[in-house]
Amino acid sequence: MTETSRTTVTLNNSYMKLIEELVDVFGATRAQVISNIVEYFFNDTKNDPLLEKLRARKRKESPPEQNEIMEKISKYLKISDQIPFNVFLEHLNLDRDFVISQLDDWAEKFDFMFIDNKIIKR
């Protein structure tokens, strides 16, 4: 069985009417209908670009502490001489624009170069 957790959802009346119309069709209760809609949304790959956009916004608005970023970069460069930029971004879990704006400083601090879309340790 899948682990679950509960939450309270507040919807305006027009959405609640739509939920009510789906009871017995898309779930036995309003809660099941809402749960099924959420699962359907997350499982539909057409929503991946929107979800990634929202994740990027969150990363941009609340990046990790600077010392945490420095520690991740240092550890990652200890185990690899060449890192594709997209892998570097994923590893740091940061916004692309933020990383690009920091590359010069980080390259100097950690002694790497950015060539052919790769982080290359000197």
Radius of gyration from C-alpha coordinates of the chain? 21
Note the pLDDT of residue 1. 64
Residues 6+ apart with CB under 8 A from 85: 114, 117, 118, 119
Kindly give the parts of the chain with pLDDT less than 50.
none
Does 98 share its domain with 76? yes
Give the residue numbers spanning the domain of 97: 63-121
Does 76 share its domain with 46? no
In 3D, which of 74, 85, 90 has the Cα closest to residue 120?
A: 85
State the pTM of this model. Answer: 0.58
Residues 6+ apart with CB under 8 A from 59: 93, 94, 95, 98
Number of domains in the chain: 2
Decide which of 58, 74, 93 is a domain's last residue: 58
Does 75 share its domain with 112? yes
